[in-house]
């Protein structure tokens, strides 16, 4: 029998049942998740964080605007991507140590990949083959990118690729280089990493 914390807690409480400490922990997780799921994502930001997000949103400029794909399913919105940087859970400027959150509107596509091209034309891969049905809640991906040392200060082009099927890096790259390829939609956003 592994001497895990729940087992130790039970032994210390003298009862074989779930200890009060474990119950507290479980309830805490449950309430946090249930309540977080019911709040729109922007309400989780503190007021000044919200102001920062709005400011960042205004400053964020879409540098490229792809022509609408004929493969966007009918009746669906066009897929879109919005970026927000947070520091310790609060929206803030993007700089080393921030977390980059992805808010997506799948527009009928199921899979998503994201990469960035930096000031020196270097490519940074964030993720590929993300199943949006499983990994986005209220449109916010449950995966975020940590802005680390690999992100030099400067302007990046963040490219989001929405597709009907999971694509590997080669396929994503081919689509980015030639968006006329079918059955996917490429979106681009600007990300400014500050010093």
Distance CA 117, CA 162 (A): 17
- Strand ranges, E, within 3-147: 80-87, 90-91, 94-95, 99-105, 111-117, 123-131, 136-137, 140-141, 145-146
- Toward another protein, which CB reaches closer, 12 or 181? 12
Q: How far is CA 106 from CA 39, 40, 72, 128, 130, in A?
A: 20, 17, 10, 14, 11
How far from each other are the two terminal CA atoms of the chain, in whole angstroms? 51
- Toward another protein, which CB reaches closer, 38 or 177? 38
CB of 18 to another protein, least distance (A): 4
Tokens of 21: 């400490």
The count of chain residues that interact with another protein, using the rule CB under 8 A, is 34
CB of 90 to another protein, least distance (A): 23
- Toward another protein, which CB reaches closer, 14 or 195? 14
CB of 138 to another protein, least distance (A): 12
- Toward another protein, which CB reaches closer, 35 or 165? 35
- Toward another protein, which CB reaches closer, 78 or 135? 135
1 is a contact residue toward another protein (CB under 8 A): yes
CB of 103 to another protein, least distance (A): 21
174 is a contact residue toward another protein (CB under 8 A): no
According to CB under 8 A, which residues from 3 to 22 bind another protein? 3-14, 16-22
DSSP string for 48-74: HHHHHHHHHHHH------PPPPTTSPT
CB of 1 to another protein, least distance (A): 5
Tell me the three state secondary structure of residue 43. helix
Candidates 38, 70, 177, 178: give the one binding another protein (CB under 8 A). 38
Count CB-CB contacts under 10 A for residue 90: 15
CB of 137 to another protein, least distance (A): 12
Tokens of 42: 């922007």
**What does DSSP assign to residue 142?**
S
Residues that bind another protein (CB under 8 A): 1-14, 16-27, 29-31, 33-35, 37-38
């Amino acid at each position: 029998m592994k001497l895990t914390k729940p087992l130790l807690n039970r032994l210390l409480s003298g009862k074989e049942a779930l200890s009060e400490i474990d119950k507290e922990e479980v309830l805490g997780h449950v309430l946090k998740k249930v309540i977080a799921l019911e709040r729109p994502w922007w309400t989780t930001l503190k007021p000044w964080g919200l102001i920062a997000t709005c400011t960042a949103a205004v400053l964020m400029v879409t540098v490229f605007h792809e022509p609408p794909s004929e493969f966007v399913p009918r009746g669906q919105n066009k897929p879109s991507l919005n970026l927000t940087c947070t520091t310790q859970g609060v929206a803030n400027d993007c700089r080393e140590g921030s977390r980059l959150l992805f808010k997506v509107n799948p527009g009928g596509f199921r899979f998503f990949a994201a990469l960035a091209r930096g000031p020196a034309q270097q490519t940074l891969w964030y993720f590929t083959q993300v199943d949006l049905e499983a990994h986005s809640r209220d449109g916010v991906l449950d995966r975020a990118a940590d802005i680390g040392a690999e992100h030099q200060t400067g302007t990046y082009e963040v490219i989001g690729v929405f597709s009907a099927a999971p694509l590997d890096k080669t396929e994503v790259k081919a689509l980015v280089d030639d968006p006329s390829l079918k059955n996917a939609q490429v979106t681009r956003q600007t990300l400014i990493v500050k010093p």
